[in-house]
Amino acid sequence: MKKILFFGYGLFAYATFLAAFLYLIGFMGNLLVPKSIDSGIEGSLGGALAVNFVLILVFGLQHVVMARPGFKEWWTQFVPKPIERSTYVLITNVILFILFWQWRPVTTVVWDVSGGVLEPVLWGLFIFAWGLILVTSFLINHFDLFGLRQVYLYFKGVPYTHLKFNTVGIYKYIRHPLMVGWILGFWSTPVMTVGHLFFAVMTTIYILTTVPLEEKDLLHFLGEDYENYRRRTPRYIPFLGNKK
């Protein structure tokens, strides 16, 4: 019975991820969603930025804290290991939905290239970014990343094994294509408002700040294999040499 419950829980957490991911695309692009980054009732600039800062801060702190090995070791005293990743994913999704709901728009325009030659370029980058996120997640094992592999193995009665370190596809050229996808997705828009710019700046700072923490964990876990990979492969931009 527990195996079925855990598997169902993992499926539910994954379904909420799909819903949050698709909504995030619409949210950032002002596309087909009831509440986007530039929609809603606009209040004072200071109040909006304060609320938005707290929303991004909560999202960032949850990721920074819950992703650390020390927290996972403590956390799995209370949360069964097969559903630890699914629980992390589910909490992330809940925080994202709160962010969508409570986001305060600031619609003063920073740039608007609608109708110009740059508009299709930026929409092209927007589409490329979200495609890059999806593709690279599969290159590193999409279902392990979002907890489904863990609950499936538990359901089958197979012990969980960590994935082997492997560099395929774009990972041969940059270490963090997933993060490049997020940054491009947040910045690529033909109409940039102050609220959208604030989101893009804050999330970019968060990504650039936390990637070294992630790499420290990977170096501790993978050892020399990751150190050699880090020496020969740039973080974000191909062919620039090592940029630790």
pLDDT of the residue at 242: 53
pLDDT of the residue at 244: 54
pLDDT of the residue at 243: 54
pLDDT of the residue at 110: 96
pTM: 0.91
Asked if 175 and 235 count as a contact pair (C-beta separation under 8 A), the reply is yes
Could you tell me where the beta strands, DSSP code E, fall in 104-144? 109-112
| Domain extent listing, the chain | 2-232
pLDDT of the residue at 241: 55
pLDDT of the residue at 162: 82
Per-residue pLDDT of the chain (244 residues; tens, 9 = 90+): 888 999 999 999 999 999 999 999 999 999 999 999 999 888 899 999 999 999 999 999 998 898 888 888 898 889 999 999 999 999 999 999 999 999 999 999 999 999 999 999 999 999 999 999 999 999 988 988 899 999 999 989 888 888 888 888 899 999 999 999 999 999 999 999 999 999 999 999 999 999 998 888 888 887 888 888 888 889 888 876 555 5
Cβ neighbors of 51 (< 8 A, separation 6 or more) are 102, 103, 104
Residue written as tokens 């940039």? Answer: 192
Q: Which own/partner pairs from 108-116 qualify as long-range (CB within 8 Å, at least 24 positions apart)?
A: 108/193, 108/194, 109/191, 109/192, 109/193, 110/192, 110/193, 110/194, 110/196, 110/197, 111/191, 111/192, 112/190, 112/191, 112/192, 113/190, 113/191, 114/190, 114/191
pLDDT of the residue at 213: 87
